[in-house]
Structure formats: structure tokens, C-alpha cells
């Protein structure tokens, strides 16, 4: 499918119609958070859930990297694309991102499909605590770790590129002594059913009068692609805004190969083409 160079056709499909938005990592790159599959992105293999629970060494590796990455990710601020979506105020904003930037930008009805990196859950008692609190404990147990690895490159899921993690101390749950995990959906885990059903309901409600907008997602994983398939099956127009190819391009009514921030800012502008 050829890209729409100006985005005018996409704006026509989006302006003045009920709207559900699905966002991916490409939306947050302008906030300094790299993505996994964008043009020029290096090959990265995120830790799976099965690897995380396989033993203490895997968790040591995860938290040593994540401790450094979180210190940088939490400083990220919403960009023009996040702010534009908050202004557009879609019926539902579905995001595959775990950075919480949509909420910081003021978006109201948000389903974070994969959870939020700012929360931590105990796999034993299921108690949820803040990442900020855990970060303080990690600092106490590992003094000097941050300064010693200040040059490690940031990765998309809130950690960094770091091979040597021996000696990093991982604290346990203060309530039950269980294993602490970021409250996000790892590869190998399923998105909670209630989140999926809420998203399906919003997509179904669009019918042929509304539009599903995909912004900054390659749709490589089924967690996002299923909503594009659902919309296409329902006869709902689908607009995809992404610089690279996506797994849903053949289902799109219109594909715009441009950056998310500029397109969404144009869409939210009162002077946008109607």
C-alpha cells in the first residue's frame, strides 16, 4: 500500500469521527525512549517471563540493568504527540507502552495493555508497590552502581545494555519475602483478559462511523495487531502512522509514513485539513 505523502487523506478519515487510538514505542522516541523495531533500531531481545522466573541470576541481570534504565526513563517527558492525543481525547487510548507518558500528558481514558513500569508486583503475595520505593532500596543495597555504569545505553523497555551484573543485590518483597517483578507484561505472559475485552468493546463500538488510528507501532506482536484485525473485520477504517512497515499495512485504509509527533500535532490543530 503506498504511503499518503501529506497525510491529508488520513486527516479526512480521522477528523470529526469517533476515534480509538492504539500507540506503540514509536510515539515515545521523541521523548528520548528508543524503540525496538523502528528504522535503524539495533536488534534487541527482551527478557521473557520464563527467563525471569528461571532463577536468581536472571533476576539479578534484569534488575541491575533496569535499575540504571529506570533512573533515566522516569525523567522522560511527554512529547508533542502525547500532548496532541490528550487534546484529541479519543473514546479510548490503547497503548503498548509502559512509560506512563500518556497519563502525564493528560489523556484520560487509557488502557496500558502491558502495564506500567512505574509499578512493582510481588509474585508471591501480589502486593503492588511503587517503582520509586524499590529504586530507593536498590540504591541502598548497591551503592555506587549508578555512577559506575553511567555510560550504559538505554533500551526501550526501561533497562540498559549491560553484560556484567555479578554482585548486584536484588531485595525481596518486604511483605512476604517473595520475588519482585515490574508490573508489566513480559514476553511469554498474556495481557489480562479484562484489558483486552475493554479494548475490543471500544473498537466494536466504532462501527463504520468511527476510525481506529495506530500511531508508532509496528504491530509485530498480537497484543496490538488483534485490534486492527477486529476493526478491519468490522468495516471500520484503519489509519496507520508509522515510519516503517507494519504487520497491519495490508489491513489499513490509509498508511502515513511519517513521524507521530508531527502528524498528531497537525491532526489536533484547529487548522488541520477536514
Q: What is the mean pLDDT of each run of 10 residues along the chain (274 residues)?
A: 61 92 95 67 72 93 87 87 97 96 96 95 97 94 79 53 73 97 94 97 97 96 96 97 95 94 91 52
* pLDDT value of position 105: 97
Residue 82 designated active-site: no
* Contact criterion met (CB below 8 Å) for 159 and 65: yes
| pTM for this prediction | 0.88
Q: Is 199 annotated as a binding residue?
A: no
Buried b (16+ CB within 10 A) or exposed e, 52-83: beeeeebbbbbbbbbbbbbbbbeebebbbbbb
Nearest 5°: CA angle at 130, between 27 and 172? 120
| Domain residue spans of the chain | 1-33+78-114+191-274, 44-75+117-184
What pLDDT does 43 receive?
A: 53
Q: Which fold has domain 44-75+117-184?
A: SIR2/SIRT2 'Small Domain' (3.30.1600)
Catalytic residue among 67, 82, 102, 114: 114
CATH number for region 1-33+78-114+191-274? 3.40.50.1220
Any known ligand binding at 244? yes
At 65 the pLDDT is 86
The answer on whether 26 is annotated among ligand-binding residues is no
Amino acid at each position: 500500500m503506498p504511503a499518503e505523502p501529506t497525510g491529508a487523506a488520513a486527516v479526512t478519515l480521522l477528523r470529526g469521527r469517533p476515534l480509538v487510538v492504539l500507540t506503540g514505542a514509536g510515539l515515545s522516541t521523541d521523548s528520548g525512549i528508543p524503540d525496538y523495531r523502528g528504522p535503524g533500531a539495533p536488534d534487541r531481545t527482551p527478557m521473557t517471563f520464563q527467563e525471569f522466573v528461571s532463577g536468581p541470576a536472571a533476576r539479578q541481570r534484569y534488575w541491575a540493568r533496569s535499575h540504571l534504565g529506570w533512573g533515566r526513563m522516569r525523567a522522560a517527558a511527554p512529547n508533542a504527540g502525547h500532548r496532541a492525543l490528550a487534546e484529541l481525547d479519543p473514546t479510548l487510548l490503547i497503548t503498548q507502552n509502559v512509560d506512563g507518558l500518556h497519563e502525564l500528558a493528560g489523556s484520560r481514558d487509557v488502557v496500558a495493555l502491558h502495564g506500567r513500569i512505574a509499578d512493582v508486583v510481588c509474585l508471591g503475595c501480589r502486593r503492588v508497590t511503587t517503582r520509586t520505593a524499590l529504586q530507593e532500596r536498590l540504591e541502598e543495597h548497591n551503592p555506587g552502581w549508578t555512577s559506575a555504569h553511567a555510560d550504559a545505553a538505554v533500551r526501550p523497555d526501561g533497562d540498559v545494555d549491560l553484560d556484567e551484573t555479578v554482585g548486584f543485590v536484588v531485595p525481596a518483597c518486604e511483605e512476604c519475602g517473595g520475588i519482585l517483578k515490574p508490573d508489566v507484561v513480559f514476553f511469554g505472559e498474556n495481557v489480562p483478559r479484562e484489558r483486552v475485552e475493554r479494548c475490543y468493546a471500544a473498537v466494536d463500538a466504532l462501527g463504520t462511523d468511527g476510525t481506529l488510528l495506530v500511531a508508532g507501532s509496528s504491530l509485530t506482536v498480537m497484543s496490538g495487531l488483534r485490534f486492527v484485525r477486529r476493526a478491519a473485520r468490522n468495516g471500520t477504517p484503519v489509519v496507520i502512522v508509522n515510519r516503517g512497515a507494519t504487520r497491519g499495512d495490508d489491513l489499513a485504509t490509509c498508511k502515513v509514513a511519517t513521524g507521530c509527533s508531527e502528524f498528531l500535532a497537525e491532526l489536533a490543530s484547529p487548522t488541520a485539513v477536514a
